Structure 1
Amino acid sequence: MFKILLICAVIGLAAAVESEANAETLERKDDVRPDGFNTLLKTSNGIEQAQSGDEHGNSQGDFSWVSPEGVHVLVKYVADENGYQPQSDLLPTPPPIPVEIQRALEWIAAHPSKLEK
């Protein structure tokens, strides 16, 4: 029974890889101008990407796809003088600062070292 399940899993994976390899471009637009650019890409396997930028090197856009688990992943971003700044519900976020650490940081800020000028 295990061998049959393993063979079915391998066949299913091979079919999924084959469909990804044969994805077709449904829509593509590229508009490059002296003052910036706009791009758009949509494929038959659900991948989408849109981006725009200016003559200063700043850009913004989004990209999305459907994960193997069936979850729609969307990432929006801005890239400018402050770096690459992605936003997504699926990106990890840092845990909150513990209350004790926050109090210690506030105390340190309120009582600077005598060596600091």
Structure 2
Amino acid sequence: MIKLVVLFALTSMTLVSSQFPYRPYAILRSYSDVTPYGSYQYLYDTENGISVQEQGQQKYLPQGSGTAAAGSYRYTSPEGIPVVVNYVADENGYQPQSNVLPTPPPIPPAILKSLEYIAARTGQPIPSHYRRH
């Protein structure tokens, strides 16, 4: 019976240890500050090269309040590619910019021409992400 308990314990430890193949990394630098006025900032760096920073504040809009934030994070992908993401998150949503994000194909000329036609007839400007670059 004791052999069975020891075998079960060893098997359990083996299974649990294989589920967590990564070791924890030390935090090299950490800072955070929250003000009573609704703004905050934080940053941290880890020994495996992850770096994160963000700052934000409360934003009051006609439809209510929320938090507007801006920040960045960087790390190295498993393929060895340095990844850098800068972002803004506000009433317009999460807007990341990065060296690894996919880019959309250009707008076909016929579609762009029809957008210009509509803009000319309605007086509405073409959004900047549709304009020719």
Q: Partner residue of 1:33?
A: 35
Using the TM superposition, give the Cα deviation of residue 90 of structure 1 relative to its aligned residue in structure 2, in angstroms: 1.3
Matched, 1:103 2:113: yes
Select the residue among 45, 48, 69 that pairs with 2:48.
Answer: 45
Q: Partner residue of 2:95?
A: 85
User: Within 1, Cα distance between the matches of 2:118 and 2:97?
Assistant: 32
Structure 2 unmatched runs, 5+: 1-19, 60-66, 123-133
Structure 1 unmatched runs, 5+: 1-16, 113-117
RMSD: 1.9
Cα deviation, 1:4-23, whole Å, max 9, x if unaligned, reads xxxxxxxxxxxxx75x4231
Using the TM superposition, give the Cα deviation of residue 110 of structure 1 relative to its aligned residue in structure 2, in angstroms: 5.3
Superposition pairs for residues 1-12 of structure 1, below 5 Å?
none
The aligned amino acid for 2:31 is K
| TM-score (norm: length of structure 2) | 0.63
Count matched residues.
95
| TM-score (norm: length of structure 1) | 0.71
User: Within 1, Cα distance between the matches of 2:51 and 2:119?
Assistant: 46
Using the TM superposition, give the Cα deviation of residue 107 of structure 1 relative to its aligned residue in structure 2, in angstroms: 4.0
The aligned amino acid for 1:76 is N
Q: Partner residue of 1:6?
A: none
The aligned amino acid for 2:36 is P
Q: Which runs of 4+ in 1 moved over 6 A?
A: none
Aligned partners of 1:34 and 1:55 also within 8 Å = no
